[in-house]
Structure 1
Amino acid sequence: MKVIEANIVAPDSNIAIVTSRFNNFIGKNLLNGAIDTLKRLGQVKEQNITTIWVPGAYELPLITRVLARSSKYHAIIALGVIIRGDTAHFKYIANSVSMSISNTSMYNEIPISFGVLTTKNIEQAMERAGSKAGNKGIEAALTALEMINILQAIKE
């Protein structure tokens, strides 16, 4: 039986991080966690990390698609915050963003880590961006690193 598992060290990888500016006081924590993880744990060189800010979560799918099609990156990390409001807007944005990013990843065969928080309120988002519930930016970076190495192992 052959088992493929991978570690998170990927020093020569080029990684793009796309972050939503909307609710950026939370997005900055996600971004900082992701960058720190890539550099310290993944040993990714700073010059191999590209960060891109977009207006809101709705804009994440377009930029991730353009990045994926550029063939310049081994993985993409999508970060943002969608907080439930009083209207159905939350549901449509969250569904659209997650499905579009997933489709882009599958179609282009590139890992796109989904670090987009979908929460009931600001407090819950803050908990997931570096307090009680950890930092989902860190988790997204770890996922990207591991997926880079899994894909490489499959290709070998």
Structure 2
Amino acid sequence: MKTSPSNIIEGKLLLQGNERVAILCSRFNHIITDRLIEGARDSFLRHGGSENLLDIVLAPGAWELPFVLDRLLRQEQKGVKKYHGICALGAIIRGGTPHFDYVSAEATKGIANTTLQHGVPVSFGVLTTDNIEQAIDRAGAKVGNKGFEAMNSLIELIDLCKVI
């Protein structure tokens, strides 16, 4: 006998049209991150977002993303959080030194910890790749655009938070 839960709660991939969202992206590796931003912006507009409610914030690199994210999540307008959600994007590409390991680990932990502190939906679209070819593939070439996918996740998460 097949059983299923009687109550499934999930978000929809649809904005109501009044959600203010920010795309937070690192400028470093801009050849990749520019494409991630394009994908995220495309998703936002395709799913009911309004151009005037989308901010694009550029941090110097992935290491700085948690700090800028914290500043964005602290912003309020008339006592209400300014953003309904933030889509965090970046590209960290492995080089010949351990720098990749430190930056990718701290950016990931920093974004996760900051998100939990503020209780505002944040999606994670920071690429961590072994080489430039993998990054290109994930920024729209062969594997889809991870910026588009990260914004899709954010939109669903914003809607889910309204329900729960």
Q: Is the structural similarity TM-score above 0.5?
A: yes
What letter corresponds to residue 93 of structure 2 in structure 1?
A: I
1:52-94 deviation per Cα after TM superposition (whole angstroms, max 9, x unaligned): 1111111111111111121200100111100011111100100
The runs of 5 or more residues in structure 1 that have no matched partner are none
Within 1, Cα distance between the matches of 2:44 and 2:100? 30
2:40 corresponds to 1:37: no
Deviation at 1:112, TM superposition (A): 1.1
1:7-63 deviation per Cα after TM superposition (whole angstroms, max 9, x unaligned): 1111211101111111101101000000011001x2110000000111111111111
- Over the matched positions of the two proteins, sequence identity in percent amounts to 44
Task: Choose from 138, 142, 147 the match for 1:132.
Answer: 142
Task: Choose from 3, 9, 25 the match for 1:4.
Answer: 9
Q: Where does 1:3-152 land on structure 2 (aligned, <5 Å)?
A: 3-10=8-15, 11-40=17-46, 42-70=47-75, 71-152=81-162
SS of residue paired to 1:50: strand
Q: What is the root-mean-square deviation in Å for CA atoms of aligned residues?
A: 0.8
What letter corresponds to residue 38 of structure 2 in structure 1?
A: N
Q: State how many pairs are aligned.
A: 153
Rg comparison, structure with higher value: 2
SS of residue paired to 1:127: helix
The runs of 5 or more residues in structure 2 that have no matched partner are 1-5, 76-80
What letter corresponds to residue 128 of structure 1 in structure 2?
A: R
- Post-superposition, which runs of at least 4 consecutive aligned residues in structure 1 deviate over 4 A? none
1:79-118 deviation per Cα after TM superposition (whole angstroms, max 9, x unaligned): 1100011111100100100001001111111111111100
TM value normalised by structure 2: 0.91
What letter corresponds to residue 35 of structure 1 in structure 2?
A: R
TM value normalised by structure 1: 0.95
Report the counterpart of residue 78 of structure 2 in structure 1: none
